Amino acid sequence: MSDRATGGPGTPTVLGGPVGSAGDSAVSGALTASFSRRRGQADQVHVTRGDRSTTSWRFPSYGDVLPHDLVHFVVEEGLGLTDGFWGLVDQGADVILEGDQAVLTRDGLPLTEHRDVDFTGLTRAEEAVALLGPQPRLEQPGRLIVARPAPGSFTAPDLADAARRLGFRLPPTATADTIAAIHTRLRDLAHRWNARDGEAITLTWHRCDVDRGHDGQRAGQPSCGGGKLGP
């Protein structure tokens, strides 16, 4: 199960009602998220869901590194993962900050206590972000090797090998062209994020119903095709 569901450090814990239940599809419609960088303060994201309801939350600044939730947006949209983190938000989950930990909430109940909840999409999204998101830069100032965030590095030295070592699997939508488009978009957004202060980067995902395989499970791809990789 992903860190977002179990409350691992640095990633949101999932709390909520019956969102992400097995057999449910993500909400259709345009999902819009505006990320604002405010130097010296907490950064902020404001979201308009497909049903036109809104939510917003603040998060500790990542500095020049793209916010984790923004990377999720680009990766999930690019791969057509409509039932990942942003699928939960689109279905009505809110995010609050408790201490230094972000918490996905709905109705004040832990999502892990609902036996009918399917975390498959969230886990798939976390694995994809781990493989396709910013890669750490290894430094050795002394005897210890330190991993530091590298804002513009989005390619693992050997993606297939990294996936095998971690036990992760990318969805069939992760073609070479799709991965290249995701990385191009992330690099562009990283440049824009570094240059902005107080201005917002707004991303829009025209979401669709989820295709299902013959076994009734989510195929992880929108029925009208993959999301448009644009601003």
> What is the full DSSP assignment across 190-214?
HHHHHH-SS-EEEEEEEE-PEEE-T
H or E, element range at 98 = strand 94-98
Task: Write down the pLDDT at residue 195.
Answer: 79
pLDDT at 157: 62
pTM of the complete model: 0.77
The DSSP code sequence of 51-64 is TS-EEEEEE---TT
pLDDT (0 to 100) of residue 188? 93
SS3 136: strand
21 burial type by CB count under 10 A (0-12 exposed, 13-18 middle, 19+ buried): middle
**The pLDDT of residue 210:** 42
Query: What pLDDT does 61 receive?
Result: 80
What is residue 8's predicted lDDT score, i.e. its pLDDT?
43
Ranges of the chain with pLDDT below 50: 1, 6-27, 209-231
* Residue with the two structure tokens 């240059």: 195
